[in-house]
Chains A and B, each alone.
Chain A
Amino acid sequence: DTAVSQTPKYLVTQMGNDKSIKCEQNLGHDTMYWYKQDSKKFLKIMFSYNNKELIINETVPNRFSPKSPDKAHLNLHINSLELGDSAVYFCASSQEDREDEQFFGPGTRLTVL
């Protein structure tokens, strides 16, 4: 009965590879987000989708491409991984009229070697 789930929990890969992180929410929310948390624990929003439409696209390299097949899923694909991409990536979701109250997933720790 997990509300917001992410897979995988840990991802270790080589520089230059392409990888994907998946996110699913069973809360019936309309809006989903991706955040990046760096080694100093700073949380920064990357993208948000509302009903499968891109709403927020922060200054993120275009190697990062979110994809929302339906409003319960928001996946993050990263091309040509770089060392600086190492971080914890969090998915979150919220109701359409309560976008400030966001529910976060457990995070995916990405390590690029």
Chain B
Amino acid sequence: GQQLNQSPQSMFIQEGEDVSMNCTSSSIFNTWLWYKQDPGEGPVLLIALYKAGELTSNGRLTAQFGITRKDSFLNISASIPSDVGIYFCAGQYAGGTSYGKLTFGQGTILTVHP
């Protein structure tokens, strides 16, 4: 089945620094998504990407859908303490038996030191 490799596994940064994480797949996806999970909570959707090459921002977050459709990255600018959490990439094929089936990366644990 499809597998997503997300890196880095963890990051320790100072408040104010920029952060970058990425996800690669052995297969092509039609949709790339980035979720954030706070401790004790469920994942929350941050950004959804639907077209190869698409670059989308949500506040301090920017994500891109790779041209090959096999990768995506997420950047966080000027990090703040509340950015701590686990960031997951997820990919999906459209339609057929893959309806609604998201494949998740292993997650990037982000720690921000004040």
- Could you tell me which A residues sit within 8 Å of B by CB distance? 4, 31, 33, 40-45, 48, 50, 55-56, 90, 92, 94, 99-107
Contact = CB atoms under 8 A, between A and B. Distances in A.
A55 B86 CA distance: 28
Interface string B83-97: 000101000100001
A31 B107 CA distance: 25
Interface residues of B, number: 22
Given A41-B86, A104-B42, A99 B106 contact: no
Given A41-B107, A104-B42, A107-B41, 12 more contacts: A33-B100, A41-B106, A42-B104, A55-B99, A55-B100, A90-B42, A90-B43, A99-B92, A100-B31, A100-B33, A100-B100, A101-B45
B41 A106 contact: yes
B100 A94 contact: yes
A55 B95 CA distance: 11
Nearest to B107: A41
Interface in B39-55: 40-45, 48
A77 B88 CA distance: 27
Contacts of B102: 45, 100, 102
Interface of B: 31, 33, 37, 40-45, 48, 86, 88, 92, 97, 99-102, 104, 106-107, 109
Given A100-B31, A101-B48, A45 B42 contact: no
Contacts of B45: 101-103
29 contacts: A40-B106, A41-B106, A41-B107, A41-B109, A42-B107, A43-B43, A43-B104, A43-B107, A45-B101, A45-B102, A48-B100, A50-B100, A55-B100, A56-B100, A56-B101, A90-B43, A92-B42, A99-B100, A100-B92, A100-B100, A100-B102, A101-B45, A101-B48, A104-B42, A104-B44, A106-B41, A106-B42, A107-B40, A107-B42
